[in-house]
Homo-oligomer: A and B are copies of this chain.
Amino acid sequence: MTSQFAATQNDDHLEKTLDPVIGALVRDIIGKVADKWTMLILEALDQHGTLRFTEVGRQVGDISQKMLTKTLRQMEYDGLVEREVHPVIPPHVDYRLTEIGRELSDAFCGVWIWAERYQAQIEGARQAFDKRKAG
């Protein structure tokens, strides 16, 4: 804990911080999973079921090979995707969501809908903010 906001020890009437209720592992998981590329890949695999490496990249669109590899590895590590290698030449590798990957995709669904629904309002808020600062 190196936070500049740690509660003082004798202030025991203070409400607890998020730490105890949320837990370090959950925070770590959120840190890994609340990521743009993860969300995009989750979405792509959720829509298409099974995709090859290159197909995932094509579906996501604007992603470099490096980030695609890295994000897929992390997702595999966390058990969100299954990776199936067909030992043929040229190589053929399939990716698909696991059960918990699908569940996470479902959980993020609400966030996608939120972003879609309020994009105009967010744009408005940004312009209002700029105008406020300028004026």
Contact = CB atoms under 8 A, between A and B. Distances in A.
Contact of A122 (B3, B5, B22, B29): B29
Contact of A18 (B26, B59, B108): B59
Interface string A52-66: 001001111111110
A7 to B, nearest CB: 6
A5 B58 contact: yes
B116 A26 contact: yes
A79 B3 contact: no
Q: How many copies does the complex hold?
A: 2
A1 interface: yes
A84 interface: no
A40 B59 contact: no
A113 B57 CA distance: 29
Interface string A88-117: 000000000000100110111111111110
Of the listed residues A5, A35, A100, A108, the one surrounded by the most CB atoms of chain B closer than 10 A to its CB is A5
Interface of A: 1-7, 14-15, 17-19, 22-23, 25-27, 29-31, 33-36, 39-40, 43-44, 48, 54, 57-65, 68, 76-79, 100, 103-104, 106-116, 118-119, 121-126, 128-129
